[in-house]
Amino acid sequence: MNARIQHVELHAADDGLKPGDVMLNIENVSLSFGGVKAITDISFDIRKGEIRAIIGPNGAGKTSMLNVINGFYHPQQGTITFRGQARSRMQPHEAALSGIARTFQNVALFKGMSTLDNIMSGRTLKMNTNFFWQMLHVGPARNEEIAHRLKVEEIIDFLEIQAIRKTPVGKLPYGLQKRVELGRALAMEPDLLLLDEPMAGMNLEEKEDMSRFILDVNSQMGTTIALIEHDMGVVMDISDRVVVLDYGRKIGDGTPGEVKANQDVIDAYLGVSH
Ligand SMILES: Nc1ncnc2c1ncn2[C@@H]1O[C@H](COP(=O)(O)OP(=O)(O)OP(=O)(O)O)[C@@H](O)[C@H]1O
Ligand SMILES: [Mg+2]
């Protein structure tokens, strides 16, 4: 038996899209919880290769939007088109299998487990060898485990967290936990990475580091990124395009320069200090 035969293509490595082509299209999406309208008739797209920021005041619907994209929430209206395939809702496993990974607003790691094991847990989806080989721990299973470990080590080097590889993540300062969480998402080798406030609670130096990692992921790994962030300096610095939400509606969309000059955006969000 050959493990390769069982290999399932997790996502199209070559989806035929060129940088700048629309990868994800959100069309007239609305989502409510009982009487609360979290998202009202929002449309925007994310293009392959870009860093797309999603900004807006607290409760604007930013996290809800990411949850719609990765299938955690199912909108009552609208269409989500990912790589040309239109659907009214995304399913979480479908999103993950087709190359969408995310980090959470509140760090969601296994606190008692080491950095290494947390990042390794991001590889689960990529593990193909069947149970038989895993039990024997020989042949394909052994080779596969080695390949996974090599990939994880690559990510640890990339994120410069060698020194904390054995540390339980619960013992790490918050800024480093955020970095480990990014590592776990990268372990999925995503094509679209959703980051929900990756710099929240960080000091200036940590924010600069995280900005650099996000830019490097984008340029070196070719990963398309959707980024929710409140720090406007960071958003304006690193994103290609920005979509602005307010009370569940889209009030602005464009380059950082365009959005900064948009009076609705200034009134609703940029006018107040962040
Ligand atoms: N699971 C849920 N059940 C009920 N209401 C929800 C749920 N998730 C979000 N909401 C509501 O939807 C609205 C948008 O919330 P969301 O978390 O998307 O905002 P946000 O823009 O991410 O805000 P923040 O900047 O504070 O993270 C809020 O009114 C929120 O209370
Ligand atoms: Mg949020």
- 15 found inside a domain: no
Give yes or no for residue 223 CB within 6 A of ligand 1. no
- 8 found inside a domain: no
- 9 found inside a domain: no
User: Could you tell me if residue 267 is left (phi over 0), alpha (psi between -120 and 50 degrees) or otherwise beta?
Assistant: alpha
- 54 found inside a domain: yes
- 1 found inside a domain: no
Vertex 208 angle, CA 207 and 213, to 5°: 95
Residue 215 Cα to ligand 1 midpoint, Å, equals 27
Task: Count up the domains in the chain and report the number.
Answer: 1
Question: How many CA atoms are closer than 13 Å to the CA of 193, on its beta-carbon side?
Answer: 29
Nearest residue (by CA) to ligand 1, atom 7, is 33
CATH number reported for the structural domain that contains residue 182 in this entry: 3.40.50.300
Say if residues 140 and 2 touch (Cβ distance below 8 Å): yes
Say if residues 224 and 237 touch (Cβ distance below 8 Å): no
Place of tokens 């080989």: 133
- 10 found inside a domain: no
Q: pTM score > 0.85 for this model?
A: yes
- 74 found inside a domain: yes
Domain boundaries, position 164: 22-270
Nearest residue (by CA) to ligand 1, atom 26, is 58
CA dist., res. 148 & res. 154, Å (int): 10
- 2 found inside a domain: no
Predicted confidence pLDDT, tens digits, the chain (274 residues):
333 333 333 344 567 899 999 999 999 999 999 999 999 999 999 999 999 999 999 999 999 999 999 999 999 999 999 999 999 999 888 898 889 999 988 888 899 999 999 999 888 766 665 555 555 565 666 777 788 889 999 999 999 999 999 999 999 999 999 999 999 999 999 999 999 999 998 999 999 999 999 999 999 999 999 999 999 999 999 999 999 999 999 999 999 999 999 999 999 988 864 5
